[in-house]
Amino acid sequence: MNLTERVWQGSWISDPTYQFDSPASPVPMMFRRCFSLDRRAALEVFATAMGVFDLYLDGQRLHDDYFSPGFTDYSAHLQYVRCEAADLSQGGHELLAVVAGGWAVGRSTHIDDTTKSRSKLTAERQALLCDLLLSFTDGQTQILGTDERWEVTEEGPWVFADFYDGEVYDARIDRNALNWHPAAKEKLCVDPCICARYGEKVSAHEALEPVEWKEAPSGELICDFGQNIAGVVSFRITGKAGQEIVFRHAEAVEHGELYVQNLRSAKQELRYICREGEQEYSPRFTYMGFRYVGIRGIKKDEIEIKAIAVYSDVEMIGSFRCSNEDLNQLQSNLTWSGKDNFVDIPTDCPQRDERQGWTGDIALFSSTACFNFDMSRFLGKWLLDLSTEMAEDGKLPFVIPSRKGITPVMTTSCWSDSCILVPWALYLSNGDQSLLERQYSSMKRYLEDVARYAAMSEGEYGSAHIFKYPFQFGDWCAPYGSVPEWLARGPHVGTPYYYRSCSIMSRIAAILGKEQDAARYAELAEAINRDYLRLFTDGTGKLKEEFQTGYVLPLAFGMGDEAQRRVMAERLWALIRENGVHLTTGFPSTPFLLFALCDAGLQDEAYKLLLQDSRPSWLYAVRHGATTIWERWDSLREDGSIEESSLNHYAYGAVGDFFYRRICGLEAIDPGYRRFEVKPIPGGGLTWAECEHKCPFGLIKTRWEITDGRFKLAVTVPCGTSCEVMLPNSECHTIGSGTYEFECMER
């Protein structure tokens, strides 16, 4: 990550005459610099903004990415982009920059019962910083930096742009007939390090054609693209001047009409005002979460439309398939939800008035994400903001980048543990030790803060190792009870997470050669383990207050001795069985539920739970036609009604880890898969399963199938790596690079 600052010739400029009131988003500003050349020259453009921008040279867009310069902690870091143009001819040219409010200036905050929506969180209005570097054939150069010679206007065809509400575009407006006036230098409220882009750019990806058209009872034309995505529409029409076409976006249809209640205050609407004749358009300064688009103002046979998925350029490096098509659909759903929520930052959802970088979601999903995608650059960028936004005493905002003055900053388990769990998942995936070195200080400060709060529990529990204060989400979003009941489980959740983070930190410290820290964290982890079992169980492993999460977390995190773990696993399965073979785990524990069962020897039971398809279960959503992961188990009810929640939340998609690491048995032993194991655990009636993963050394492949009572396994090992194979009959093999086949009797 190159964080070297550029020396700018230009200054920040804006239009000081433009004012607007929060919580509205601003009208997009257009800046231009006209210049004339007496000879040919090559052009490089370096640009950043308060807001999000597009650059055009002589009417042609210079770049294909969206939402530059991206979302960062603007008080600390701001990215700039570099664009090239082919040699410019002699004569006049125009560089145009369109700057919308984006995250820095526009409305982009979470709304709840206590927080009003706000804009202008980083700047009072949009601002542009740009250098045009002209290089002539004789070796001379010239820089045209932003200054008062640039012009600005708010009268362009982009009438409105907002991440939540959408975009309004008036194609009748002639860009050559606008009222321009001189820009002025602008003093920003922040002074960030302005660095070359170090995150993945946001680009257009899959293009989806309509799969079905229907007319709603209201008369609205509804187009179904068959897949829930984050993105925009692109359309081509022949219109009449002044004709207005309205596009509304939604994830679901209820009673024949678009379901928009889960958008809360977000409109997700595109309004397009036509000029005369043929024209095409796609929004540039917004994106929507949608599968369905409602259209008014034009007939079906008068429009060509497609949906464009828009997300960061994270390379897909993993795959999974098996003989069960429901599980294949679940894998598709979780990868789509990943892509849809990787829009420059790891968001919670792509549709409603939120789209924030919730730390708990990525803490749980990071391992699954790192199997399916190359997350190195994407999460590396986000972790830089995590480090800069952590308070000196180790407290973290609930969302990163935070919304200053709005986002709570508080130490809490799972969510704050992201400062350890996310870099650890990245390290196991890519073997980049420098990431651990860079993040070590923030990890350590966090655990020091947890220790301070754990000490506050000593009078209550007789232990300084119970993580209860200052606040815990507890068994958050469990399919039982109410919020107070979930929160009351806080110590049962916070304490195992405290143990897990200390255990991982001991390993990280050892990797970095910090032996004293490694020993200290190992001792602390053992003390937490001992006190959790003493205070919350009867000594045999049985909880004094039984609930599924209370068993899942200590089992999955390796707490207790063998006898205690056996009791925990038996009691966990008893609770699941008593609930009709249904989970009742909350948000922080559900990703570990199948591992808790399987690794305790209850493989058949884990498969029974995985393949459950009545609510609550992973396959309930699949059975009801989901194409992404839902926020809640009952987002769509049996009667067809819809719960007001997101239909595109990736956190419960962390079940994918079980597919790769247990069904296919592929797991890294050493970081970056320099050594890995393939230890498949077949079950659930599956007759075959396969996965691939592109590690830093090459492509790993593994596939097993059961035919006529024989288990057959094929493994491909990349150069520079080795693999430990264990067959279901416990037969073991150590293999180097190459492709191998093994066979044994089915267990």
Q: Which pLDDT tens digit goes with each residue over 594-604?
A: 999 999 999 99
Q: Verify that 235 and 282 share a domain, yes or no.
A: yes
Q: Which pLDDT tens digit goes with each residue over 296-353?
A: 999 999 999 999 999 999 999 999 999 999 999 999 999 999 999 999 999 999 999 9
In this prediction, residue 668 carries a pLDDT of: 97
Is residue 215 assigned to a domain?
yes
pLDDT of residue 1 exceeding 60: no
Is residue 179 assigned to a domain?
yes
Q: Which of 411, 331, 350, 345 is nearest to 375 (CA)?
A: 345
Task: Give the number of other CB atoms < 10 A from CB of residue 544.
Answer: 9
Token pair listed for 309: 């998925």
In this prediction, residue 261 carries a pLDDT of: 95
Q: Which pLDDT tens digit goes with each residue over 464-490?
A: 999 999 999 999 999 999 999 999 999
Q: Verify that 175 and 224 share a domain, yes or no.
A: no
Q: Verify that 276 and 185 share a domain, yes or no.
A: no
Q: Verify that 19 and 152 share a domain, yes or no.
A: yes
Q: Which of 312, 336, 363 is the last residue of a domain?
A: 312
Q: Which pLDDT tens digit goes with each residue over 702-733?
A: 999 999 999 999 999 999 999 999 999 999 99
Token pair listed for 66: 């969206």
Helix (H, G, I), strand (E, B) or coil at 362: helix
pLDDT of residue 642 exceeding 70: yes
Percent of the chain with pLDDT over 70: 99
In this prediction, residue 416 carries a pLDDT of: 98
Cis status, amide bond into 479, omega within 30 of 0: no
Residues 6+ apart with CB under 8 A from 461: 491, 531, 535
Higher model confidence: residue 86 or residue 8?
A: 8
Position 47 confidence tier, pLDDT thresholds 50, 70, 90: very high
Domain region containing 234: 204-312
Q: Verify that 190 and 44 share a domain, yes or no.
A: yes
Q: Which pLDDT tens digit goes with each residue over 378-434?
A: 999 999 999 999 999 999 999 999 988 788 899 999 999 999 999 999 999 999 999
Position 111 confidence tier, pLDDT thresholds 50, 70, 90: low
Tell me, what CATH number does 261's domain have?
A: 2.60.120.260
Q: Verify that 59 and 129 share a domain, yes or no.
A: yes
Task: Give the number of other CB atoms < 10 A from CB of residue 226.
Answer: 14
Q: Label the pairing between strands 52-57 and 60-61.
A: antiparallel
Residues 6+ apart with CB under 8 A from 721: 673, 674, 675, 676, 695, 697, 698, 700, 736, 737
Q: Verify that 153 and 302 share a domain, yes or no.
A: no
Q: Which pLDDT tens digit goes with each residue over 613-626?
A: 999 999 999 999 99
Question: What is the SS3 assignment for 427-457?
Answer: HHHHCCHHHHHHHHHHHHHHHHHHHHHHHCC
Is residue 406 assigned to a domain?
no
Q: Verify that 123 and 37 share a domain, yes or no.
A: yes
Is residue 618 assigned to a domain?
no
Q: Verify that 86 and 104 share a domain, yes or no.
A: yes
Q: Which of 321, 293, 335, 317 is nearest to 374 (CA)?
A: 317
Position 112 confidence tier, pLDDT thresholds 50, 70, 90: low
Tell me, what CATH number does 696's domain have?
A: 2.60.420.10
Token pair listed for 387: 């480090």
Q: Which of 503, 306, 328, 470 is nearest to 395 (CA)?
A: 470
Higher model confidence: residue 218 or residue 23?
A: 218
Position 691 confidence tier, pLDDT thresholds 50, 70, 90: very high
Q: Which pLDDT tens digit goes with each residue over 534-580?
A: 999 999 999 999 999 999 999 999 999 999 999 999 999 999 999 99
In this prediction, residue 508 carries a pLDDT of: 98
Helix (H, G, I), strand (E, B) or coil at 291: strand
Kindly state the average pLDDT of the residues 208-218: 98
Q: Which of 297, 312, 327 is the last residue of a domain?
A: 312
Positive/negative CA dihedral, 551, 552, 557, 558: positive
Amino acid of residue 324: N
Q: For residue 420, which phi and psi values (nearest 5 degrees)?
A: -105, -45
Q: Verify that 67 and 177 share a domain, yes or no.
A: yes
In this prediction, residue 114 carries a pLDDT of: 54
Position 169 confidence tier, pLDDT thresholds 50, 70, 90: very high
Is residue 650 assigned to a domain?
no
Amino acid of residue 249: H
Q: Is 674:431 a contact under the CB 8 Å cutoff?
A: yes
Q: Which pLDDT tens digit goes with each residue over 114-152?
A: 567 889 999 999 999 999 999 998 889 999 999 999 999
Position 3 confidence tier, pLDDT thresholds 50, 70, 90: low
Q: Verify that 175 and 228 share a domain, yes or no.
A: no
Is residue 392 assigned to a domain?
no
In this prediction, residue 436 carries a pLDDT of: 97
In this prediction, residue 368 carries a pLDDT of: 98
The count of domains in the chain is 3
Q: Verify that 190 and 129 share a domain, yes or no.
A: yes
Residues 6+ apart with CB under 8 A from 374: 314, 315, 317, 430, 694
Q: Which of 312, 337, 370 is the last residue of a domain?
A: 312
Is residue 187 assigned to a domain?
yes
Kindly state the average pLDDT of the residues 21-49: 95
- In angstroms, rounded to a whole number, what is the distance separating the alpha carbons of residues 197 and 48? 10
Token pair listed for 552: 């899942």
- What rounded mean pLDDT belongs to the chain? 96
Is residue 410 assigned to a domain?
no
Position 22 confidence tier, pLDDT thresholds 50, 70, 90: confident
